[in-house]
Structure 1
Amino acid sequence: MAENTDMNGKPINRAAMMALLMIGSFIIIIMQTSLGTALPTLMTAFNVDTATVQWLTTIFLMVNGIMVPVSAFLTTRIPTKYLYLSALVVYTIGTAVAYVTPTNAFWLLMVARALQAIAAGIVMPLMQVVALTLFDAKSRGKALGMVGLVIGMAPAIGPTLTGWILDSKHDVLGMTVGGDWRSIFGMVLPLAVIVLVLSIVYFRNVLETRKVSLDIRSLIESTVGFGLVLFGSAMVSNYSWTNFTWVLAPMIVGVLVIAEFVRHQLHMEKPFLDVSVFKNKQFALTSALVALTFIAMIGVEMVLPIYMQQVRGLSALNSGLTLLPGALMIGVMSPIAGYFYDLYGAKRLAAFGFAMILLGTIPFQFLTETTPTIYITALYMVRMMGVGITMMPLTSSAMGALHLNQTAQGTAVNNTARQIAASLGTAILASVMQSQINNNLPSDSLKTADPIAYGSKALQASLDGFHASFLLAACFALLAFALSFLMHKGKVEPKPAAGKEN
């Protein structure tokens, strides 16, 4: 493909394509975390308990994680424009269904969430592959820096936006929105339709496609394997890591199925998911560091709002606003990190970014019930600056370590590892927190004998749980900081599409 032309040699508008891709991907990916602060509201509206309502988040993570491996096949088989339009159509249908779901049909809202997750599983890898294709090697860091605005900021802003929507009614462009859970979906629905219409006009086919057959065995193994692992990790919040039926059994079976899936892929002439890219040590290392970045980001994003609402008594909106400056720092730092990656490569940026994440996480172990929110905001900003500095340079370095004809498969593998790591990391941090709280809770007899003492000790037990979770998050950051020194110096240039890197 010549620069500024599509696969048919027709001129393309790179700026319009990237803008539509980023906006469309943003409104899709933001749904990954948007319902977090709305769960209590949805429990009341649908008359369901905590364990049931959490499936709205669980189903999204599971379907998204299952779809990511499939994305490599879809990107190879379906022209770029039609694949992106299909994702937008599926998302629009899912969002519309969620908006009109009656409160006596909770199952229908779960179906809507699954449709949204299918779209997210397609656009996340597609956005990276298209960005790598539209821009040459010299501008690759800047391009993926823009992608980082979406992948980093959308999940970070989701809880704040939902808190703002639920807090009260607002006037937006002459329309009254907010005040109820339906507005979470109603606000993004018109945007999805607008992006869909404009994409019909401006989007072009920029990725090479070829006729490849879908290996049903691989599809089943990847769906069952990754699905069971993600299911088991999601159920930790309802049970514990020692529960065999709902946690250990699904994860053990899932790992065994994944092992068979990997073995099968390595013996296929045209694999469904080219796991052989992990034979490239630089790709394997940087993919692991990307996964650790997401554990550091998503895990603390989950724990910190719980602390602010349960211990500090903040509302969903105020807890979201406390984290908003940190979320915005990803947007500020991602393009800057992309610029410096083009000049110096990823190693220095990764080491510096993980050092910031570590320094921003350690003080969280000393939070109390009276810690000023401005202090929490400042620490969170430091952490998210580190995430913004780290994320896209690592992704660029991982893709640069591969041959050009491995980009789609490498992106799918990278995203699969990241999605599973984020899910497992969140489960680990949550389980450590809950386990510590349960172990330190005072006996129920004290509640009757001395309610004040019981309340004080229960509060301390909660703080102990949060401190343990933050300590573990700091350990993940420390591990990533140490591993970053094993990376290559300088910028890693992509290799010609002549063969596979072993």
Structure 2
Amino acid sequence: MCGFLASNFWLLLFGRLIQAIAAGAMIPLIQNVVLVLYPQEKRGFIMGIIGLVIAFGPALGPTVGGWIIDNLGLKWLFGILVPLIIILLAISLFNAKNVHKIDRTQRVDWLSVVESCLGFGALLYGFSDIGNMGTINFTNGFITIMGFVVLIFFCWRQLKLEKPLVNLRVFKNYTFNLTTILSAISNIALLSVKLVLPLYLQRVHGLSAFQAGLMLLPGAILEGITSPIAGRLYDKFGIKKLSLIGYAIIILGTMPMMFFTPETNLLLVAGAYAFRIIGIATVMMPTFTEGLNALPINLYVHGNTAASTVRQIAGSLGTAVLMMIIAFGSKHVAGNKMLLAEQLNYGYRYAFLASFIFALIGFVLSFWLKLKQQ
């Protein structure tokens, strides 16, 4: 509602913050319910279904959002959600039930909340401002460094608290660490290019927001189909082969993007993105599930919280870093005599190269995963 009624930037930002809090809380809660209700041998498929829900909405976002912006205006991106949320709230009041014992002794450490918000917020703002400005100055450099410093204090506090906000002791588990990194890389691969590609299509190819979103629609459909299938394959074959295949697909799908030009056929753009999405859907939720399965039962909730936090922050920071790379890449050739679209195209090429490197790192790390024990 705040976003729909916003008359200035700060009210719009406030509305987005409320949405972010809700989304950040809901996804780990849904995954905790799965951990309680389903045994390990069935979690892959169920997590695949959840991955479909989590990823399919944002995948359709560029198409639906582009049509809304072109035809109704920006504020209706928020307005169209209001009746849907009211309906969901009404259904939840009568149908949602607790599935585990409530611990009323658990208290939120508000200093940890403040530290995490300031640390991650400063880090994200610093990278974003560097991308927008196309240069590092005293202000954005100082904010970025302070973000790192605050996060160090946040981690130190979590290790000292008896009941921390995020139990960092879960990172003592080798498999959990490795799969959390792989899941985070897959989230960077998903969210970063999902943001960068529509901008590339609009700025370099001159498409409208709706047309750019439409180019991503085949990938959204394939993502929805692939996610539960990948979950079933994980239950049957384990994570190592699945992760290697998934990251290999991401690499192959990203390679053509490094050679895009303003004259590149749009069918190739849509095809490369769609093929790449298959790999992301193959990797994301199975690696996440494997990490949770590696933990003892008493650390499931803490592991879910920690892995979800890392994955979401990695996606946000990865997107900010890619935007920064685009700005630097475009500025690098700005002195040459070329059209603006060609200058921007160089920036996007660097961003796609960075995405390729991320995928390559994920592929190499997948060799350290363990084979499924029969």
TM bucket, shorter chain: over 0.9
Deviates more, 1:458-467 or 1:304-313: 458-467
Aligned to 1:484: 366
What is the CA distance between 1:411 and its match in structure 2?
A: 1.2
Q: Which amino acid aligns with 1:272?
A: L
Correspondence for 2:59 among 147, 156, 160: 156
CA contact (8 A) 1:274 1:413 kept: yes
Correspondence for 2:15 among 87, 112, 116: 112
Answer yes or no: is 1:218 the counterpart of 2:112: yes
CA contact (8 A) 2:175 2:294 kept: yes
What is the CA distance between 1:167 and its match in structure 2?
A: 3.1
CA contact (8 A) 1:397 1:491 kept: no
Structure 1 distance, partners of 2:219, 2:156, is: 42
Q: Deviations over 1:440-483 (max 9, x none)?
A: 1136xxxxxxxxxx4x4443322221111111110110000000
Aligned to 2:356: 474
Aligned to 2:30: 127
TM norm structure 1: 0.71
What is the CA distance between 1:227 and its match in structure 2?
A: 2.3
Q: Deviations over 1:279-310 (max 9, x none)?
A: 11110110001111111111111221122111
Aligned to 1:429: 322
Aligned to 1:370: 263
Q: Residues 56-205 of structure 1: matches in 2 within 5 Å? A: 96-101=1-6, 103=7, 105-168=8-71, 179-205=72-98
> Whose RCO is larger (CA < 8 A, sep 6+)?
2
What SS does the corresponding residue of 1:486 show, helix, strand or coil? coil
What is the CA distance between 1:491 and its match in structure 2?
A: 6.7
What SS does the corresponding residue of 1:468 show, helix, strand or coil? helix
CA contact (8 A) 1:215 1:272 kept: yes
Q: How many residues align structurally? A: 373
Answer yes or no: is 1:328 the counterpart of 2:204: no
Answer yes or no: is 1:227 the counterpart of 2:132: no
CA contact (8 A) 2:254 2:355 kept: yes
Unpaired stretches in structure 2, ≥5 consecutive residues: none
Q: Which amino acid aligns with 1:166?
A: I
Moved over 4 A (4+): none
CA contact (8 A) 2:243 2:282 kept: yes
Unpaired stretches in structure 1, ≥5 consecutive residues: 1-95, 169-178, 444-453, 493-502
Q: Which amino acid aligns with 2:246?
A: G
Q: Which amino acid aligns with 2:5?
A: V
> Compared with structure 1, are the counterparts of its residues 333 and 491 closer, same or farther at alpha carbon in structure 2 (3 Å cutoff)?
farther
Answer yes or no: is 1:418 the counterpart of 2:311: yes
Deviates more, 1:133-142 or 1:393-402: 133-142
Q: Which amino acid aligns with 1:138?
A: E
Structure 1 distance, partners of 2:135, 2:222, is: 34
Structure 1 distance, partners of 2:344, 2:128, is: 21
Correspondence for 1:350 among 211, 227, 243: 243
Structure 1 distance, partners of 2:112, 2:74, is: 38
Structure 2 distance, partners of 1:214, 1:463, is: 47
Correspondence for 1:286 among 176, 179, 182: 179
What is the CA distance between 1:240 and its match in structure 2?
A: 4.1
Q: Which amino acid aligns with 1:418?
A: R
Answer yes or no: is 1:389 the counterpart of 2:279: no
Answer yes or no: is 1:298 the counterpart of 2:191: yes
CA contact (8 A) 1:440 1:461 kept: yes
Q: Sequence identity of aligned pairs in percent?
A: 39
CA contact (8 A) 2:131 2:325 kept: no
Correspondence for 2:136 among 232, 242, 247: 242
Q: Deviations over 1:242-279 (max 9, x none)?
A: 22312x21222222222222222222222221011111
Deviates more, 1:380-389 or 1:269-278: 269-278
> How much is the aligned-residue C-alpha RMSD, in angstroms?
1.8
Structure 2 distance, partners of 1:491, 1:222, is: 38
Structure 1 distance, partners of 2:17, 2:161, is: 30
Correspondence for 1:398 among 285, 291, 299: 291
TM norm structure 2: 0.95
> Compared with structure 1, are the counterparts of its residues 183 and 460 closer, same or farther at alpha carbon in structure 2 (3 Å cutoff)?
closer
Q: Deviations over 1:16-75 (max 9, x none)?
A: xxxxxxxxxxxxxxxxxxxxxxxxxxxxxxxxxxxxxxxxxxxxxxxxxxxxxxxxxxxx
What SS does the corresponding residue of 1:238 show, helix, strand or coil? helix
Q: Residues 435-454 of structure 1: matches in 2 within 5 Å? A: 435-442=328-335, 454=337
Q: Deviations over 1:363-385 (max 9, x none)?
A: 11111212111111111111100
CA contact (8 A) 1:432 1:465 kept: yes
What SS does the corresponding residue of 2:216 show, helix, strand or coil? helix
Structure 1 distance, partners of 2:47, 2:15, is: 30
Structure 2 distance, partners of 1:242, 1:166, is: 32
